[in-house]
Structure 1
Amino acid sequence: MHLSLALPRPTGGLRPWLNLAALATLSCALLLLDDFLQQLYTSNNRAELELSYVIVLWLFSAALWLGNLRALTVGVLLLFAAMQLMQLANISFFGEPLSATDIQSLLNDPAEVSQTARHSLAQHWPALLCVALPYMALLVLHVRLPGRVALPASRWALVLIALVLLAKPYRATYRNLDSFAASPNRSALHNSLNVFSAWSVRLAFRDGVELPPTPYAPYQLSAVPSTAKHVWLVVADSLRTDRLGLFGYERNTTPQLSSYLKQHPSAFVRPGIAAGVATDVSLPYLLNPIREPGKDQLLRTGQVNQFRFAQQAGFRTHWISSQESKLLAHLGSRYLDVSITREDHPLRFLQRQDRALLDVLDQQRWAERNFVVLNLRTAHLPYAQNYRHESRPMPWPDSGPDGQSNAYDNSIHYLDSLLGEVIADFDKLEGERYLIITGDHGQRLGEGGYWGHNDLVPEVSNIPMIVVARDAPEQAMNEFARERWISHYEAGQWLAARLGTRIDNPNLRADEYFVHGKLLFTDNFIQRVCETPGGLVHQAPEQLSMLLVQPPASSCLENAGKG
């Protein structure tokens, strides 16, 4: 049998092509419908339309009609329906999109999943209806209409179908799981294509490492009085302490911050220690204050989530980011009142980069109490790209042998001007208020020929902590200012108290910190960092599985002389 890939010869004039366009539009709408149906009964689904994704989905829908292979189309739609049933059920039950590791966990324990599904069906059955209605309609259309409605046909459509279905699995062969993190603001089908592709390539049919149970005791949470009106957290990407002028760097990369701190002696700066070496690791551990390795369940449940604490205390919660919405994975997006990312204003962020974030900030209408997290990208590679739109010249030339290092300093100088405006907006507010400015992680800047992050080395865990307060009790600041170094965990614990929740950690050891490697929910590498009289001692990284079996027997203080 000969399979022809020749272009179709139109028969019947323009009508078949108009029919194709109409059916592709209807099919595309039905593929998007499950999100909107779920949004009718739960706020857990926060999907928003993305123009580029809708265009691809429309072309894919047209290709299914143009291909005119009924068995293939039915198979694809049934596959999508199965993925979406798992996805929407997870969103309904947990409030978060499904991840690749979630899929593996579900398949590893089918008995527990089945029992949970039976007991929760009465509450979450609408998820089944949200999938059944559009996909039944699509199946009926594709089974009954071909042959009854004039349509063009071409086997070239199979190429587009293959590209759409295989592109993400191919990408998963050379990218890690965190590159396929689900975004709460994306279409559920878009998330499903991402995470099921990553799971099928990276996790399916493989014997994963089963991590030992964590030896660390659970945290104790208690409500505490909070009179704060505004709590702001600013997280700048790839911010390294020793390249900031206010920390003694030879170049004045932070003129505005340095000037501000001189005028306001109640504000203070400290060197900090990041919780992880990658944004999608450090942000979850900062916004879910977790100190010890192996307590991943706290990330999944949101038990210690800052946005949750804020909502419980009556704060309006805001996430404003110049980066992609996928970073919201495991940040507690279900507790957000306002979520604005680069994808909400793509053209504005493309033209103005992080300065567009200030435009969005100025448009906010604050409630009586607000918890605000701002996420900037300014100092991320490629550094020069982040400030190219600025009309003013940068202090240092970003070409030549030192160009990349100079570009990083320029990006910090540009960031300094943005942070000056953020602080000015913060100072306009009234009442007791707190602001922390920090980095998600540090950066290698040519040491040993290496650039970027993701490595467990001191340069990458090296971040600043800048703390500002207004109309605040002295005790709230004094207890924090006494620290010599401030870790992400300590900053998160302090912020939680400002948001009305005290975290008591029975595992706490003085002057001991943990920095997590570049992946979540795997047998990650963990670096123990000890604070000693002579400075920080970074111990050799250990795999999580080994660390859980044999946690450090002695505290950092006991080992101070051994560093």
Structure 2
Amino acid sequence: MSFSRIEPAPAQGMGLPAASVPHLASVRALWARIDLWLARPRSAQRVVVWLAIYLAVAANWPLWNELARIGGAPSTYLPTSAAMAVLMVCATVALLSFTAWSRWMKLLWFAVVLLAAFVQHYMLEYRVVMDPTMIANVLQTDPNEARDLLSWRMAYHVLLVVLLPGLALWRARIVPMRFVSKLWRNAALLLLAVAVALVAAVSMNRQLAPLMRNNIHLRYMMNPVASLYSTGSVVLRPMFKRSRKLIPITAGTALGASYAGQARPPMFVLVVGETARADHFGLNGYARNTTPELAARGVLSWRDVHSCGTNTLASVPCMFSPLGKQGYESRSDDYENLVDVLQAAGLAVLWLDNQAGCKDVCTRIPNASAFDSLSPAQKSALCDGEECLDDVMLKGLDARIAALPAERRAKGVVLIMHQMGSHGPAYYKRSAPEVKRFLPECRTNALAECGHAELQNVYDNSIAQTDHFLGQTIDWLKAQSGQYDPGLLYVSDHGESLGEYGLFLHGVPYSFAPEAQKHVPMVTWFSQGMSERRRLSRSCMEAELDAPLTHDNLYHTVLGLMDVSNSTYKPALDAFASCRSKA
């Protein structure tokens, strides 16, 4: 018996061309050399410097694109971009020098890269900047809103930035050093970064000074420096401030003469809109009829109204404040607000929310979420997960009103409805199928993937849904006319950018925000009973529809409509004061 030896098959017999074997070998050899280079022992300070350079190049494309747009010719913007790159690297090195200690910092460094990747994605996708207001808004975002911002495009953009530094940090070997040695090296690195930044800033001051003064948003596009600064400002600044006390303003609040012997109490609905643009309301002359239901109900639309802020966190507390925009933003303490005054007057007040909270406006009055007590059938018809169309606020509304104290309802009811409205970027979720008459619409939250026409269609459908919701609310109020004298005022908290100037969504700092993010719709409807009890002249109000108004007027206008006296009321800021007869 004999045994034959089986020889290994040649490589080309395994389906691989002979030429590919040396190619694969060269790739493996190259990877081995790269891996060996990555695994060389390095000081933490050197890793920090390389990381800062990488982030300046790979995570700041929005900044470089904006500098190119502003600068015009390459001979103009390239030197400025180079100076900005030096400042960027130095600023990042200075920040990371506080972390250059040991290999245990690698996770923190990777977190900085991950943050920079996410920030770059949203700056590229929606043209936002990461100022403290935007960060505060982000921190207030609920899980449903956050889910709307997720996409495969985001995952691709993030992976593109984090893959290489993630691998490098994983393989990096940090040279161990004594504490004193690390301390002086970190101090030297910090001083060197500051010195180089100062030299660059002084040498390019003639170009950089006017650029940064005329384009304030650029300072919030330096990634990740701006995000870290803004986050620190929002999170840490309150720790070093004295705690604000609540200043009461309700002393002496009383109901006016219209309540004496009233046949019916008033019922007033204040609808706080979300992300609605005044120039996309058909009532205001928009080419598309986005508001047919409101037009059919004889409402009045005020065409020159501007918001207090460009995001919900800034606008909603400001519009309910007695201080006005300037006073609210410069205040050193907190103050009671409009709903506190209405509550103190003895009225039945309820805040109903279909949004991510009332931003502390409603904490001292009865408030409820629109999701409460929904039946499975209602959730199925009106909700997508935990996000619901605004029509949900009308479900069970009679029961909610009846649950308020009877002695307060006998005087009057004020209902504040906080909409989901046109909140982006998932605009396609903001309208029901039967309302979607502008097609085709953008069906993704990656807005840059949609053409302008599709984006305009989906946003206009969300406005049409608001029109439908307000029409249904007015119909509900009409049904209350036998028991109450009803009225409604709707005003949006801020507007929205739909690609104009390359901007999407909202939240651009107010001082240089576009008109689209500040010009908001305001609509009123008054029953005959409400008009008579407050002696409102419709012809007078129609003549005032182009009068300039702001959120500063809301506080005083509502007090005037509800005939509530308070020391903070200013007739000059009451939008309807001149249209109320004295007799």
TM-score by length of 1: 0.49
- Structure of larger gyration radius: 2
TM-score by length of 2: 0.47
